[in-house]
Amino acid sequence: MTASDILRSARPDVTVDLMRRTGLDDAMLVRPKNEVLFFAVRACSLINPVAATLSRE
């Protein structure tokens, strides 16, 4: 965890302690969020065509 990561947290001391105790880091938390967003976009008939067009650019 870098200083900029700590500044993003509303409670940096709690965040650092939780990350230390669990072994979780930003990458481990961001990846599932992005995967959920990806599948939600793929399932949406309104957003999927737009996202598909943007991903080809």
pLDDT of residue 2: 53
Say what the pTM is. 0.39
Query: Could you tell me the maximum CA-CA distance found in the chain, to the nearest angstrom?
Result: 42
Share of the chain above pLDDT 70, in %: 81
Q: What is the pLDDT of residues 2-47, one digit of tens each?
A: 544 544 677 888 888 888 999 888 777 777 777 778 888 888 888 8
Cα–Cα distance for residue pair 53/56, rounded to 1 Å:
5
Dihedral angle computed from the Cα positions of residues 12, 16, 18 and 22, in that order, rounded to the nearest 10 degrees? 150
Is the sign of the CA dihedral 29, 30, 32, 33 positive or negative?
positive
